[in-house]
Amino acid sequence: MVDETRELARFVSEFKYENIPDHVRALALDNLIDQLGCEISSSQLIWGRQVRDAYGSAGGTPEATVVGYGDRLPVVAAAFINSTFGHSFEYDDVNPPYLGHPGAELIPAFMAIAEREHKSGRDFLTTFVAAYELRGRIGWSVSPDLVEHGGPHPSSTCGPFGAAAGVARLLGLGTEGIRNAVAIAGSFSGGLMQYDHGGGSVKRIVCAIAASNGMQAARLAQVGMTGPEGILEGKRGLLRIFSSNFRTERLVADFGRLWTIERVLFKPYCCCAVIHPAIDGLTTLVARHKLKPDDIKAIEIGYPTRSYDHAAITSPHDLLGMQFSTSYSLALTVLKGGNTPREYTEQALTDPCIKAFASRVRLVEEPELGKLHEGRFPARVKVETASGTVHEELVINAKGSPGACFTSDEIDAKFRSQVSVVMGAERCEKLIKVLRSIDTLDDMAKLPPMLTLNAA
């Protein structure tokens, strides 16, 4: 009998920096830079400030730094706040075949512990790669069934296991300690997804739940608490409870040859990732046929089931709802010329012109797209013009996805677009240089002061 949970724990425990392939190291650095760019730029958003107020007011031992502000808080509180910043505006990474937002789930937790424990940048990066692999394989084993059922959310469901494993490794718990941390994390796993139909800013903390819950699980393992055997593959484990079409073999298949971080998607647009191919397709058709807004009579978007149910809000009442609305996002594409934080605003939400254009967009469910392109976010875009002509574009690989991947230079450019505005160009460039060589940093406690907005 294969003990998959223990095999995953052993992998995380025994993984070494020298085991990281060059391209995986590059992707890990891209992920770090992308996540910290999101954390810094979103630290001033209202829900981020609300979370900071809620968790910062409790006080406690000053162990780790809050990005942007410089507050020193207990590691769990700091990680919760920073993870909220990182996932605050739908601009952080996602992993289509392996589900969720691993960067925002893992990086804030590991940075907080690495700061407190004075771990090296090499230790941090190695832990991130190893824990990402465990986290990705758990998501892969319940994909796409978990999201096609409408949840629970992949980040708050699968993320605590990855955070627990990485924190336990940084705490030096060894294979059995990591296994216990992962097993305990099973009691912290879950979370409903009604936000993609009903909005609500609480979605902004879904990755923070993963980060903080995983940290708590690892802490409990550190003091001697134990978890059940087979938390992932067992009769009442995660796979069987949360999926009716799970694939246990994916948990440990092709270690050292298949890397789940290879399928990371970095977002060029700050909205739900399943909308991205629709934006790309519409942008292509508008440019190819030189269409003006008044030329467009109707737009039809064909989505696979998982995407259709995840981005179908037609009358959003808040910014989160707009970011999960295909129709409003496409209205911004045509009328505002972009889908960045500059376009997703309260003013746009109530703009009658945007609302009117959004009413021209219709979604159709195309289950065959999901069968043909599993592990991707495809979309079929049809535009009917005022003259009756119909133009069509099928997008299988959205910009920023593995099939149309960002380069490291593009990741750095995205970072600059967010960070230079609040930190200045000179500090931004220095920070990119430090992050690109994070594995040479002797003490991770040196990094957080560089991430505050008022640093010298």
438 falls within a domain: no
**Residue 371 burial (CB count, 10 A):** 10
**Does residue 317 share a domain with residue 174?**
no
406 falls within a domain: no
Supply the pLDDT for residue 296: 98
Supply the pLDDT for residue 176: 98
449 falls within a domain: no
**Does residue 348 share a domain with residue 254?**
no
**Does residue 291 share a domain with residue 196?**
no
54 falls within a domain: yes
Average pLDDT over residues 158-182: 98
Whether the CB-CB separation of 276 and 267 falls below 8 Å is answered with yes
Question: pLDDT tens digit string along 381-438?
Answer: 999 999 999 999 999 999 999 999 999 999 999 999 999 999 999 999 999 999 999 9
**Does residue 234 share a domain with residue 281?**
no
Whole-number percent of the chain with pLDDT over 70: 99
**Does residue 291 share a domain with residue 254?**
no
Q: Which residues pair with 379 in a beta bridge?
A: 395
Supply the pLDDT for residue 455: 59
Which CATH number fits the domain that encloses residue 366?
Answer: 3.30.1330.120
User: Strand pairing of 361-365 and 296-303?
Assistant: parallel
Q: Is the pLDDT of residue 316 over 80?
A: yes
307 falls within a domain: yes
| Residue 353 in tokens | 């012109």
What phi and psi values does residue 393 have, to the nearest 5 degrees? Answer: -145, 130
Query: By C-alpha distance, which of 288, 146, 136, 131 is closest to 218?
Result: 131
Q: What type of residue sits at position 211? A: A
Q: Is the pLDDT of residue 256 over 90?
A: no
**Does residue 233 share a domain with residue 317?**
no
**Does residue 197 share a domain with residue 131?**
yes
Which CATH number fits the domain that encloses residue 219?
Answer: 1.10.4100.10
CA 126 to chain centre: 19
300 falls within a domain: yes
| Cα–Cα dist 325/307, whole Å | 11
Supply the pLDDT for residue 26: 98
| Cα–Cα dist 222/170, whole Å | 11
Mean model confidence pLDDT for the chain: 96
Residue where one domain finishes, among candidates 239, 263, 287: 263
Residue where one domain finishes, among candidates 263, 289, 307: 263
Whether the CB-CB separation of 211 and 105 falls below 8 Å is answered with yes
448 falls within a domain: no
According to DSSP H, which parts of 290-424 are helical? Answer: 305-308, 319-323, 326-335, 346-350, 352-358, 367-372, 408-423
Whether the CB-CB separation of 243 and 150 falls below 8 Å is answered with no
Query: By C-alpha distance, which of 189, 183, 225 is closest to 206?
Result: 189
| Cα–Cα dist 320/141, whole Å | 28
Parent domain of 146: 4-263
Q: How many domains does the chain have?
A: 2
**Does residue 301 share a domain with residue 193?**
no
207 falls within a domain: yes
User: Strand pairing of 390-395 and 64-65?
Assistant: unpaired
**Does residue 232 share a domain with residue 344?**
no
**Does residue 298 share a domain with residue 251?**
no
Question: pLDDT tens digit string along 375-385?
Answer: 899 999 999 99
Q: Is the pLDDT of residue 244 over 80?
A: yes
**Does residue 220 share a domain with residue 152?**
yes
Residue where one domain finishes, among candidates 384, 401, 418: 401
Question: pLDDT tens digit string along 47-76?
Answer: 999 999 999 888 899 999 999 999 999 999
User: Strand pairing of 361-365 and 379-385?
Assistant: unpaired
Supply the pLDDT for residue 58: 87
**Does residue 204 share a domain with residue 133?**
yes
